[in-house]
Amino acid sequence: MDVVGVVAGVALLLVPSVKKLLDSVAYRNRARGKAEVIYAQRAVEVSRQVPSGGRRQVEQEKRKQPKQGTGTTSG
């Protein structure tokens, strides 16, 4: 019976620390979930602001347009 009493005593001593560990893990999971929601919302906002081709497409379109006032006049 002494062994059972010791095991029960150790188990009772470990319960608060195990509960704290589980609470910490649960808090981290909730925080990670909230962060993923915020990240997804911001990604949607950014995708609405940037053209479909992104910055690279805008840069290429600028290069394709002829520059005004750079031609030489013969005269």
User: Does any domain span residue 64?
Assistant: no
- The reported pLDDT for the residue numbered 47 is 76
Model confidence band, residue 5 (pLDDT cutoffs 50, 70, 90): very high
User: Does any domain span residue 74?
Assistant: no
Per-residue pLDDT of 11-52, as tens digits, reads 999 999 999 999 999 999 999 999 999 999 988 887 777 555
User: Does any domain span residue 42?
Assistant: yes
- The domain of 10 spans 2-59
- The reported pLDDT for the residue numbered 39 is 93
DSSP 1: -
Q: How far apart are CA 28 and CA 24, in angstroms?
A: 6
User: Does any domain span residue 72?
Assistant: no
Q: How far apart are CA 75 and CA 73, in angstroms?
A: 6
Do residues 51 and 58 lie in contact, with contact meaning Cβ atoms separated by under 8 Å? yes
Distances (CA, A) of 58 to 8, 9, 26, 43, 75: 70, 70, 45, 20, 36
User: Does any domain span residue 69?
Assistant: no
Domain count, the chain: 1
